[in-house]
Structures are given as C-alpha cells and as structure tokens.
Structure 1
Amino acid sequence: MHVVLVLDHAHVNGGQAKVALDSAVGLRRRGYRVTVFAAVGPVDPRLAESGVRVVCLGQDDIASTTNKLAFAAQAIWNGRAAKRLAAELAHCDPRDTLVHVHAFAKALSPSIGTAIRRSGLSCLYTMHEFFLVCPNGGFYEYPAGRICHRAPMSAACLGTNCDARSYPRKLLRVVRHLGLEHVAGLPGLFRHVITISALQERVIAPLLPGRTVFHRVDNPVSVERQPLEREGRRDILFVGRLSTEKGAPIFAEAARRAGIRPVFVGDGPAAAELKARYPEAVMLGWKNGDEVQALMRRARALVFPSIWYEGQPLTIYEALACGCPVIVSDACAGREAIEDGENGFWFRSGDAGALAAHLTRLGDDALAARMAERAYERYWSAPLSVDVHLDRLDQVYGLVMRDARSASRPAGRPGLHGTAAAGPSS
C-alpha cells in the first residue's frame, strides 16, 4: 500500500509534524510505500534513512518569510503546491494509494484539496486542530481570552476579532476559509476524519457533512518506561508555551495563593510579564524531551491550565507515564486522561482559586504519593506507544480503502463472497 502524507513542514517543528513524520518512518518500517509531501524544509534526515520518498517545495511559512504580502497570498491559495501535488498524485495507483492530510494551514493552503479531488484517490484527514471548520483554527477569541461558541463564518463570527494579532489578519483567514469551503470543498472532500479526543469530535461533528465517518486515533507518546521515583518529588511544573490561552498566568497566581513556588518549562509572549509580576517563579526556558521527562519524574505534579479546547495534549500523557499526577482545566481535552481525584484533579477553567485549592491538597505527602502511583500504573496499563498508533492506522487505512472500493462498485454488484460489501465502522 502507498500512503501519501501531506503536511506543511518536512521537519519536526511541533506536535502535528512529529506525529506525521514519526508515522511516516514507522509505516515505512512496516512495509508501506510512503511519500511525504510538504511545503517547508529542511527535511528530517530520518525520512531518507528509512526509505521514505520526500517532495519538499522549499517554501516559506510565516516565521521564515521575508515578504509578508507574498506569503499572505500563498496562505490563502498556494497555487504551486496544488500544481505539484496534482502532478505527484497523477502517478499514483488508485487501487492501493491513500492520501492522508495532516496539515495545510501554515503553508500549503486549502489549494491541495483541488489536487486531491481531481486525483480520485482515497483520502483521510487528521484533525490536529480545527482549521477544517474554524477560520482561526482554535474556536478561541485571543483578544478576549475565551473559547468561542459562534458558528464559524456566521455574521457573528465575521464581526468578531478573534485573531491573536489583528482584525485584518482575521479577515485574511476568512478569505482563506471561503476558498476552503467553496473552491477546494475540503469539508466535503474528506469523508473520513481522524480525531484525537472525544471533545474534539463533539465540537466538529455538527459542522461537517452527516456522511462523515470519524475514527479515533490517539497520538503516540515517546516516553521510555523507567521505575517510578518515589522520593524528593516537590516541584509543581508547567510545561509549554507561556501564553494566556495556555493558562500560564492562572498557574502563577494559583501558586502564589497556595504559597508554593511555580516552575515554568517553556517560553512565550507572557514570559516577561510573568517574571515581573511573579518574581518567585522559576523560569527554566525550553528543555529537550529527555530533560522535560527527567523534571516530570521528580515533580509532585504537572499543572495543565489551558483555557482553550486543545486537541490531545501529549504533555499530560508524558507526565502520567513519568508517574507525575496532573491538575487539568475542565475546559480542555486533556481532562479525558485524568480521573478526578485518582491520577490528578480537574479544576474549573480560568479559576485560580480552584487551582490553588488543589495545589494545597497536594501538600499532603501521602495523597501525592498515591496519585503518583495511580498515574504511573494507569498509563502503563495501556501506553500510547508508536506501535499502538501504527496498529490503529493500519485498521483505519484498511477501512478507508474498503469504503472506497465499495463506493466505486456498481449498485447491486455482489462483494467478493457473494454478499454486499459492508461499510466501515470505527
């Protein structure tokens, strides 16, 4: 089977690309023929080493461009990407090729939809975020600092400045979304959609065609199992981008109320203000994966106070794998990994007082130790390994291909065993 993975970046620059490229390497090792089609380099060297074919256009994203106007046009409709992808897909055999789209919003643009549709190949979309249905990709009002419940592209949506930078930038996103819906037709193109949390499916299901088939595929977590550390667990950690939507200021305020020292691993736009307002906070900056996991193994808890939906926050699962309980906002998808009072706590989103109360409770050494044991045991009873992820992809790919063959078979024609072919389920 030939899988064409479509994404913005050919290197790991975040969670989306990591999942896509890790799966590319894993699928190749399992005998799949794999092509990675991406806009932005450099190319992850693991791809060539494992035999993955790579088509990288060498284009810019918003971080690397020197011409913002030209990039705005590319982000709305990347004609070069559409043309090159169409040429690639024209050589693919529809009997054994599946196009799996992971990301388009940072460089490729919705134009890829025209190439996929014209190819007639089976296709699948992983909903890492919400760009398929929401112009700003997050159902979040950045200026107001709250989740947005407006219908995408409604009058209320169009009149609201939800962009992190400016309203004119929001209007550019609206233009792009018009192309996504009415030119590329992406929501109708992808009959099969992978989701990474139950919350995500609940949010998007009413906004996609009724014929859409949803498949749950958890993202893989890269943590090596080590014995649980039981002694000296004191620090309360925040790991991630220091920003309002991630809830970093809420954690700082809650820690002060609870009389503890907050430890931040990461950086971001809220860092300077946090340093000035909460001088007691420890700012460690960004750390690599091994360093973060070492900190988690010695921490009393991880706080994940995000005030937007999230997709499937892998930081939470990494913490649990390290035996680190998690206190999580009840508004985000991360709550699905936590059984309140067992391997962590839920707290009311945005409520520093409620978070502070849980921080105070974890001052009880016996409670903290019990939660660490539960976190570790529950995660390793069903770990989200790369192999588990690939096994699930195998299943979903088979379902998608069988569905395509069933749809192309003339009505009334019997299946291979003389009965009508069954549709997929997941």
Structure 2
Amino acid sequence: MKILLINYRYFISGGPERYMFNVKALLEKNGHDVIPFSIKSPKNVQSSYEEYFAEPLGNQDTPYFDRYKKTPNLLLDVITRLFYSFHVKKKLESLIQSQRPDIALILHHYNKLSPSVIDACKRFGLPVLMRLSDFFLVCPGAHFWGPEGVCERCLSEGYLACVKGKCIKGSIIGSLLKWAAIVFHRKILKIYDKVDFFICPTELMKEKMILGGFPERKLITIPTFTALREKRGNQAVKTASQILYFGRFTYEKGIDLLLKAWLESKLFDKGINLTIIGGSWDDIDRKNFTSDEFQKVKSQVNCIQFSSSETIESHLKSCRFTVIPSRWYDNLPNTLLEAYSYSKPVIVPAFGSFLETVIDNKTGLLYSPNDPSSLAEKMRLLATDDKLLESMVHNIPAFFEQFSPENHLARLENLIKETVSRKEI
C-alpha cells in the first residue's frame, strides 16, 4: 500500500521525528511504500521526493522560530502557515497527483506546514489519519501548561482562556493569533472534521480530545513503540548504584524538583549516585535552592550535557532505575519507553498518562506530583530494596509488549486497512 507520510521536519530534531523515521522504516520493512512530504532543508535526510517539499518559512533554514530573522516575508509566511497555506496545499497536490497514494498519515503539520494539507488530500479522495503528539487541537498552547503549572482552562472556559493567560510565550498578540487560528480551523473551516481518524498515543490524550468536543468514534489509541533491548535487564542491576535522569533541563520537566529530592534523600551518603543527562548547570532554575544547597548538588551529581544515543544507552544499561520528575502532562515520553526497553523501573508523578503507563510497585513507583519529599521517599525505597527492584525488572517485559513494534504495526495496519476499505465502499 502507498502511504503518504506528512511531517514538518524530515530530519531528527526530537521525539516526533524519531517516531516518523521509525514508523516509516517499520512500514517499509513490511512491504508498504512510504512517500514523505515535508519542508525543504539542507538538514533533511535524503529523499527522492524533496522536489515536492514546501519551501521553508521566509526561505530561512532553521528548525526553531526563536532563531529566525524577523523579516516581512517571514511574518507573512508565519501567518499563512498558521491559518491556511495555498503554497503548501499546491505542493502537496503535485506530489499526490504524481504518486497516487492510498492514504495519508499526518504527523506534525501545525505552524510550519498548514492544515491545508488536509484539503489537499481530500481533493483527491484520500483517507486521512492524524497522529497526535500533543494537545494542540484542544489547547492553543498545545501542552495544557500555563504560568501557574498544569492548566486546562481552554477545556472548561473555551479557547479565549489562552488569550487571557497570555499562554503563547507570554504574548497577547501571539496568544490572539493562536486563538484566532484554532477558532478559524475548528469553527469556521471545520477542517479537522475531514480527518477520518485521530491516533492518540495514550488514553489521556483520547480523554482530553473527547472533552474538547471531538467524537469518540474517531479517536483510536495506539501507543508509541520501541524495541525491547534487554528482556531481563542487566544481571547486575541489584548491585547498580546509579540513578538516572535524561531529558531537557527545564522547569516543566522537573529537573530542579529531582535535585531537591536528591538532597533530601541523603542517598549520596549511602554510596548511591545520581547522573543527569541533557543540559548544563546553567540551565537549572536555582530559585528553590540556597547557594550552599546548589553547590552541594553540584558536588554530588554527575551532570552530562546533551550527548549521543550511545552515551545514554551506556548509562541506561548500568543504572539501577530512572526518574521522570515532570510537572506537566508528559504524553507517553520516549524516556519512559527507553527505560522500559532495558527493563529499568521508573519513578514518575502520579498524574497524567503516567497513571496508565506505570503500574505502581510493579513496573515503577508513583510519587505525589510536585512533592520533592514524596519523590525522595520513593527514591530511597527503590535504591535500597533489592527484592522490589528485581520483581519490577521481572515484570517489565510482559507489560512492555503493548509498546512493541509488532503491536504498533498490527494496530496501525488494521486501522489503515479499515480506513481505506471504508473509502472503497
């Protein structure tokens, strides 16, 4: 089957792109012809279809908006891509007309491509699946995150709450534009009504989409996938003395909360080590630390700036367990699946998608959200209880099967076949 795969980047910049290339390889390995559509960039993985790709915003090659040179041409492109881009639509129509795919799978398209990709597909009668990586359809800020933490006001009060809270980079203008765009797409164009099915990585995502007004019949839960690398974990896991965090060093990711919990746990005095990978000491918010506390943390914790996958893999293999101290709704983060793939237990906050992806005392531990004392208690428990640790290492492979490539492929192929067959009726 010919599958059109749409994403606004065709190089690895983060988790969504890793998923894109992984699912592309998985589908191709199983006999499907995958046709990519994206934005032109020198960073792109080579593709014979790049001539059909859309031009970059303002003809500038940078993956992050903060790095763009603000020109009139750029601002015009930003607005048209945010609302409706005829350029993107025309480029995609040329690709569809040339290759005649059977179905479209849309990943990230908002902001840098355009919802006009849906109309381009529908002009040729293509069924459309859309995989959701964040909450952009029910929250203009995309993450249910505001100045005071987790925020669902757009669900209870409507999208205008985004403007009142200045949720887009603290800007009234930016928030107004996002509010206007989502109202334009959902209430006026009703363009997302044309999507056949939405793929949700978690039941949490599905629940929020239903609360945001999307029909349950169009929402299908298919978790992200990765391969199991160590079925029973490192045999020396019970003698391991390292706790691991890897990810961004940002407030919403809770890195400062982890370090507060580390100090409170006093595990350093018991010969346990903490390694954090993903940034520098300068990236960490110090407002909750005294000067002496922060210096103590720096003297005890091994901090590694963002490194290669090989470095992360080495630490995953040798660690005792990992910690994901998120303050926001991490929607099935890759860090969780990567830990599970090495049969490593994970300590996570008891909220959001973690309630469905970590079984307390079976595959990891749940602590009270935003509570460093609760996190410290769970870290002490798993750092010192070898029997509990070994039972978790034993339990993880069976639980992990739902995140396997085989399971993901089977469910995705079934949905593709069902969607294409509905078109043919």
> Could you tell me the TM-score, scaled by structure 2's length?
0.84
Residue in 2 that maps onto 1:263: 275
1:330 aligns with 2:350: yes
Q: Identity percentage over the alignment?
A: 19
Residue in 2 that maps onto 1:4: 4
Q: Could you say if the C-alpha distance between residues 210 and 217 of structure 1 is closer, same or farther in structure 2, counting changes exceeding 3 Å?
A: closer
Secondary structure in structure 2 of the residue aligned to 1:311: coil
Shift of 1:123: 0.6
Shift of 1:324: 1.6
Shift of 1:138: 1.1
Residue in 1 that maps onto 2:316: 296
Shift of 1:383: 6.2
Shift of 1:258: 0.6
1:177 aligns with 2:182: yes
| Amino acid of the structure 1 residue aligned with 2:380 | T
Unaligned runs of 5+ in 2: 58-62, 268-272
Contact 2:280 2:303 in 1 (8 A): no
| Amino acid of the structure 2 residue aligned with 1:18 | R
Q: Could you say if the C-alpha distance between residues 54 and 296 of structure 1 is closer, same or farther in structure 2, counting changes exceeding 3 Å?
A: farther
The 10-residue stretch of structure 1 (11-20 or 60-69) with the greater mean CA deviation from structure 2:
60-69
Q: How does 1:330-369 map to 2 (within 5 A)?
A: 330-367=350-387, 369=389
The 10-residue stretch of structure 1 (21-30 or 271-280) with the greater mean CA deviation from structure 2:
271-280
Shift of 1:397: 0.1
Q: Could you say if the C-alpha distance between residues 72 and 249 of structure 1 is closer, same or farther in structure 2, counting changes exceeding 3 Å?
A: farther
Secondary structure in structure 1 of the residue aligned to 2:398: helix
In structure 1, distance between residues paired with 2:359 and 2:316:
19
Q: How does 1:66-145 map to 2 (within 5 A)?
A: 66-67=69-70, 70-78=73-81, 79=85, 80-91=87-98, 93=100, 97-141=102-146, 143-145=147-149
Shift of 1:194: 0.5
Secondary structure in structure 1 of the residue aligned to 2:38: strand
Secondary structure in structure 2 of the residue aligned to 1:362: helix
Contact 2:40 2:50 in 1 (8 A): no
Residue in 2 that maps onto 1:398: 417
Shift of 1:369: 3.4
Q: Aligned pairs, how many? A: 399
| Amino acid of the structure 2 residue aligned with 1:312 | L
Shift of 1:43: 5.9
Alignment counterpart, residue 253 of structure 1, candidates 239, 256, 260: 260
Shift of 1:83: 2.0
Secondary structure in structure 2 of the residue aligned to 1:341: coil
The two structures, once aligned, show a CA RMSD in angstroms of: 2.8
Q: Could you say if the C-alpha distance between residues 40 and 373 of structure 1 is closer, same or farther in structure 2, counting changes exceeding 3 Å?
A: same
Q: Could you say if the C-alpha distance between residues 24 and 256 of structure 1 is closer, same or farther in structure 2, counting changes exceeding 3 Å?
A: same
In structure 1, distance between residues paired with 2:226 and 2:50:
25
Q: Deviations over 1:204-262 (max 9, x none)?
A: 11224437422222212145336622434112221111111111111111111111354
Shift of 1:326: 0.4
Contact 1:253 1:352 in 2 (8 A): yes
Shift of 1:75: 3.5
Unaligned runs of 5+ in 1: 407-426
In structure 1, distance between residues paired with 2:344 and 2:313:
10
Shift of 1:195: 0.7
Residue in 2 that maps onto 1:39: 39
Alignment counterpart, residue 148 of structure 1, candidates 134, 143, 152: 152
| Amino acid of the structure 2 residue aligned with 1:265 | I
| Amino acid of the structure 2 residue aligned with 1:86 | E
In structure 2, distance between residues paired with 1:25 and 1:324:
26
In structure 2, distance between residues paired with 1:13 and 1:321:
21
Residue in 2 that maps onto 1:19: 19
Shift of 1:270: 7.0
